[in-house]
Structure 1
């Protein structure tokens, strides 16, 4: 996939997630989400931190753990998230960013990845978290047809295994899939989400 297409997909996923969060009231931040143990407020704070951390990584500052600090919950969280979303989109749009080494300390001390791969991580994370937000709020979520093949390819490249049961793992153990599932449902199941949540 060309880097311009990947960046465009990521920007769309990020903005769609931000638009969903903008619909949340302060009371909604206490709602449960498909992310085990996280309320919607917890998820919004995590997403804000991820945007800022990935933006810092794109600028060469990702090894600074302060860049990944999770902000406190509060009434201004949706606005903070929206600003952080635009910050990371702008950082990813910089020329040559796909060739930079992104420091992503959440993967372990000294962890670095090629820029294009890191943007792919960010993209699939926000496809899944967009669905999380929608489910938490009881809203519809649709993965656009043109984005689905790229998102599915990236999701299926995420390895399974016991590491997914470790504390703080980005995704839970994969769930069974079959050929009747939509691409979005296959993505969710492979990354440990039940497409029928909360059922």
Structure 2
């Protein structure tokens, strides 16, 4: 079985390649995340990396690790640095994928997950957020074939109930998935994204 950290690293590095194409003048653009500009989205993506890195190192319960701030003019550099930080933190776990992550933003009590599950959440987030950024910039995005099976497995295990409409929910309610949908479209639709979303001209 492929280590979830390897899958996650490929997804995160793909997101880094897309974020490298962001210009300062793009930061005010609307995104597929309703009400968020690209600056908001990149700020969220960056702080989530910091939060997951802290959780991997045993300090995820500290809410200061998860404090949101919109990205500024150095958004790209901040995001790339945070990406390297979280990948390094996961590597430091060694073989211990049963280590406990505190993820206080999750609406369960207690919000604690084994590393292999927590990193799976992170993996899906950064497939979707990479698509978010690409869609915002009007760029194509493809899900690596070697990620498809695990991305679908983890995505389809995400509950689609009242939790999706609660304040602070990571995803909105799922949309209908046509039978001929690609793996990426199935991921996006189950998590409430519209694959055909395009920036306003």
TM-score by length of 1: 0.95
Please say if residues 58 and 97 of structure 1, whose CA atoms lie closer than 8 Å, have aligned partners that are also in contact. no
Structure 1 pair 165–74 and aligned structure 2 pair: CA distance change class (3 A): same
Residue aligning to 1:123: 123
Residue aligning to 1:59: 57
Matched residue SS, 2:189: helix
Residue aligning to 2:71: 73
**1:41-74: per-residue Cα shift (whole Å, max 9, x none)?**
1010001000000000000000001111223431
**1:130-160: per-residue Cα shift (whole Å, max 9, x none)?**
0000000000100011111110100000000
Cα RMSD of the aligned pairs, angstroms, is 1.3
Residue aligning to 1:7: 5
Gaps of 5+ in 1: none
TM-score by length of 2: 0.94
Residue aligning to 2:33: 35
Please say if residues 48 and 71 of structure 1, whose CA atoms lie closer than 8 Å, have aligned partners that are also in contact. no
Distance (Å, rounded) in 2 between the aligned partners of 1:150 and 1:82: 24
**1:102-121: per-residue Cα shift (whole Å, max 9, x none)?**
00000146410010000000
Gaps of 5+ in 2: none
Distance (Å, rounded) in 1 between the aligned partners of 2:96 and 2:187: 26
Q: Which structure dedicates a bigger proportion of its chain to helix?
A: 1
Residue aligning to 2:185: 185
Matched residue SS, 2:113: strand
Query: Does 158-167 or 183-192 show the bigger shift?
Result: 158-167
